[in-house]
Amino acid sequence: MGYKRIMFAGTGSGCGKTTVTCAVMKALCQEGTKVVPFKCGPDYIDPMFHTHITGQSSTNLDSFFMDKNALCHLMDQRLAEPDAFGVVEGVMGFFDGMGMSAAASSFEIALWTKTPVILVVNARGMALSAAALIQGYVSMARRLGGEGLIRGVILNQVSKGTCEFLKNAIEEQTGVKVAGYFMYQEDGMLKSRHLGLVTAAEVADLDERMNVLAQAAASSIDLSLIREIAGSVPQLQYEEPDFEPLIRSFRQERGTMTSPLRMAVARDQAFGFYYNTNLELLERLGVTLVPFSPVSDTLPENIRGLYLGGGYPELFARQLSENTALRNQIREAVKGGLPVIAECGGFMYLHQTMEGLPMVGVIPGSCEMTGKLGPFGYVEITSQKADAFGMPGTKFKAHEFHYSRSLEPGEDYQVSKANGRTWKEGFSSGSMYAGYPHLYFYSNVEAMIHFVKQMREHI
């Protein structure tokens, strides 16, 4: 399976790859293509736009979180239907990974999955230098074992005339086809803030903006060439990941259960940063996800678990604080042993105060915005005592990215980076995980099964 797939990668952050990717996705969808979206790396926001555009859940492909086997398996499962057309958006620059290596880069994911790449190049102000830049990427890919991966380029921020002027030189000098160009579209642009783009739910006229981008793509990008390149790929090769037998065994074990395992999931303008694969794994383990709004709702009835993900709670701190009934409910539920996962924004919400306003109060101290990026990047966390996921020593791969700080950050988990730096942070109890790191659940399915068993036992 998985015969149609293509990646749009960039020369660097800010080159326009998200805009171009969204434009092509929308244009393909308007032609009747069933686009199945993917995002390289640990981003939460771009996948929201992918999902809105395509109507299909966007999946993170991350070679820090997953080994090659698991990543190819996950991609193949998403492309299982014969008419599926996989579109992958890269992250940062094509080769940018951990430190000065290509590990966990868009390149590594393209190499592992044998996915052909369209390189998005901001060619504004360039002539022959555009060919030199592209040739550099082609040569680097060859040196790293990815000869032939880069199959085309899209020239961003240039006109039709400039594209025609550059096209022959680029193709003659690099052997890479120019798949078109893309001009700045004022009516299609999306705003940004400190954690990235604004979320899809916050853009009232998102459909209109995406239509503008799609119209531009249809008139300036060779979609037939994109289809041709995407169809010239081999079948994905992999062995079944170790976690699949664990999931099958647990599903058989819980087959006799009659009552649903309901888990409240915070989803509103304040909370919305979730890996779709995390939510899907919970569902595969028999959990019924019940969305609710911490801004305006009370806790859903008959829940056995609570998931407070990341987001922008600091922007809605007053509304969250004024929902006193919910704050009291969550505080009592946590004290009563309700299994809870609270990541980043959810962790902030559980503090006594945030930005000087009362919050839930199960985490001591306050949380405040600093205007500076805190600990950032891939980490592995290790529990220092028994927690919601199992015994001491339980590990998860995770990612941190925040501009706030906790005055009482906790010390129940050891956090380790690949460069050897370690520190302690986070809070745990027999039923709760609360900390800045966003966990990747498939990195420890056994621990997630333990968590779901705790949900089953909670009364």
Residue 194 has a pLDDT of 47
Least confident range from 42-46, 108-112, 181-185, 298-302: namely 181-185
pLDDT averaged over the chain?
94
Question: d(Cα 172, Cα 76) in Å, to the nearest integer?
Answer: 35
Do 289 and 181 share a domain, yes or no?
no
Is 51 part of a structural domain of the chain? yes
Is 366 part of a structural domain of the chain? yes
Residue with tokens 């990668």: 9
Do 287 and 396 share a domain, yes or no?
yes
Residue 190 has a pLDDT of 67
Question: d(Cα 102, Cα 91) in Å, to the nearest integer?
Answer: 12
Do 222 and 277 share a domain, yes or no?
no
The sign of the CA dihedral 357, 363, 365, 366 is negative
pLDDT tens per residue across span 302-348: 999 999 999 999 999 999 999 999 999 999 999 999 999 999 999 99
Instruction: Examine the fold and report which residue of 230, 260, 286 is the final residue of a domain before the chain moves on.
Output: 230
pLDDT of residue 256 exceeding 80: no
Do 332 and 364 share a domain, yes or no?
yes
Do 264 and 124 share a domain, yes or no?
no
pLDDT of residue 145 exceeding 70: yes
Q: Mean pLDDT over residues 214-232, rounded?
A: 97
Instruction: Examine the fold and report which residue of 203, 230, 257 is the final residue of a domain before the chain moves on.
Output: 230
Name the band, by pLDDT with cuts 50, 70 and 90, for residue 250: very high
Of 22, 29, 40, 344, the active-site residue reads: 344
Is 235 part of a structural domain of the chain? no
Name the band, by pLDDT with cuts 50, 70 and 90, for residue 184: confident
Q: Mean pLDDT over residues 354-375, rounded?
A: 92
Q: Mean pLDDT over residues 25-30, rounded?
A: 98
Is 33 part of a structural domain of the chain? yes
Do 156 and 302 share a domain, yes or no?
no
Residue 259 has a pLDDT of 73
- Cα 410 to its chain centre, rounded Å, is 26
CATH label of the domain that carries residue 430: 3.40.50.880
Do 281 and 428 share a domain, yes or no?
yes
User: Is 29 labeled as catalytic in the residue annotation?
Assistant: no
Is 237 part of a structural domain of the chain? no
Strand partners for 397: 380
Name the band, by pLDDT with cuts 50, 70 and 90, for residue 192: low
Name the band, by pLDDT with cuts 50, 70 and 90, for residue 201: low
pLDDT of residue 2 exceeding 60: no
Q: Which residue has the higher pLDDT, 359 or 185?
A: 359
Is 445 part of a structural domain of the chain? yes
Least confident range from 174-178, 185-189, 433-437: namely 185-189
pLDDT of residue 257 exceeding 80: no
Residue 121's domain comprises 5-230
Instruction: Examine the fold and report which residue of 169, 201, 230 is the final residue of a domain before the chain moves on.
Output: 230
**Cα→Cα distances 157→23, 150, 185, 316, Å:** 14, 20, 9, 36
Query: Number of folded domains in the chain?
Result: 2
Do 215 and 269 share a domain, yes or no?
no
Do 223 and 290 share a domain, yes or no?
no
Residue 389 has a pLDDT of 97
Is 236 part of a structural domain of the chain? no
Residue 193 has a pLDDT of 43
Do 100 and 180 share a domain, yes or no?
yes
Do 213 and 262 share a domain, yes or no?
no
pLDDT of residue 68 exceeding 80: yes
CATH label of the domain that carries residue 133: 3.40.50.300
The residues, any chain, with a CB within 8 Å of residue 221's CB and separated by 6 or more, are 20, 23, 24, 27, 154, 179, 180, 181, 182
Least confident range from 34-48, 347-361, 368-382: namely 368-382
**What b/e readout covers 398-410, taking b as 16+ CB neighbours within 10 angstroms?**
bbbbbebbbeebb
Residue with tokens 């996950």: 74
pLDDT tens per residue across span 408-429: 999 999 999 989 999 999 999 8
Strands 413-416 and 377-383: antiparallel
Do 191 and 316 share a domain, yes or no?
no
Name the band, by pLDDT with cuts 50, 70 and 90, for residue 191: low
Is 142 part of a structural domain of the chain? yes
